[in-house]
Structure 1
Amino acid sequence: ALCPPANAAPAMAKMLGGSASLALKIFLSGNLIACFSIPIVFGYLTGADASLSEISMKIFNTIQPIISIPLAFALGLRAFYPELADRAAKFQKYTMFVWTFSVFVILAKASYDIREMGFWDLWNSGKLPMMAGISLLLCILLYALGWYVERNRRPIESAQSMGQKNTTLVIWISTLYAGPVVALAPTCYVVWQNLVLSYLSARIKTKDSNPE
């Protein structure tokens, strides 16, 4: 729940008919807030030995390159080479392939970790079913809550910003401070999150093909 919006949230919001610029603003502010909210709450819950400032700086140094570098490049391209920026914008639909590849890598790593830890041991202990179930409920709750609170104004942007999470960040933090078993919870969230996104994308394509 503390995890900031995913990098793909603005692109997904635009694909679903929302405002990419608004989703981008939420993405930027959400990631900055996460540098402090995650260490405070997560550190308290896990009893991590690392200090608040240490965890905050590690999170900031992790997310800063994926925010500042692309943003600076995009703003510079738009300011000095607008025609080239317009050409580049035509290739945005191919970013979904990058998204698909990143999800594949995350799930492949999770599959490897589960086999290493012992699938049946995790299942029989109740840890894996519990984390899968909680992450499913949390995913549905966040998407539904985001849609509901802004249902009369910006439901698409709100739902994507609330529900689509930078789970790679939380998997890394969980593995680092709480262990690989805990990291399975956000990994399960990746599965549910992408099932929701696939469903929403399929609905948009169905509406486009059947406008009536």
Structure 2
Amino acid sequence: MPYKVFTTGSVLTAGDLNDYLMKQSVIACTSGSRPASPVEGMVIVETDTDQMFVYSGSAWRWVASYGSNAVGTASATATQTTTSTAEIVSLTIPNMVFRAERAYRAHIRTSVYGAAGEQAFFRLRKTNTSGDDWGEFARVTTGGTVTGFAAMANGTIILVRSASTDLTATVVLTVSSRSGGQINLFASAATPRYLVIEPIGSAADYAGLGVDVA
């Protein structure tokens, strides 16, 4: 419906309230009490899932998440060193909530230096180093043993929760050395190394592109 300007003395009818107030307001509801007859452009906020949706004319489309655990972050300001060929935990996000039928972007950033020619492998897992494999971010080859030869690890993985229920999980970023040479993940207060997981839309929009988390 169009925007309507009311003038002094205008009669406000029940139809006006429904069309120009109810249908054009941001509606607070729950996932189980969405408006029964939505119209295109209607916006709702679900108080039980902390999510906002807009009606496209045929379906509710995700707009944003808010509140606790909407975005997962982990960071460190200390350099991490390892020579392990087995995966070790680099960063941890506890109690990350993956909402039903939502898609997420996981992103890492750190600089790597160490034994010349050594490779650092970065991987995302559920719970711990032996948990479900949610994908490899990068394989970064070091250029030398000083920070001036550092290479940048800057990778992204798409995660989708296609199930109809939410999932709460601990997410870990692991790192390992390809052949046992020393690798250093540089960090400082000015340049922390980090892992960020943020919602990006509906799982259906990323079908076939991401790792399905379970």
How would you bin the TM-score normalised by the shorter chain? under 0.3
State which structure, 1 or 2, has the greater radius of gyration over its C-alpha atoms: 2
**Given the two structures, how large is their TM-score scaled by the length of structure 2?**
0.23
Q: Which has the higher contact order (CA 8 A, sep 6+)?
A: 1
Write 1 or 2 for the structure with the bigger share of strand: 2
Write 1 or 2 for the structure with the bigger share of helix: 1
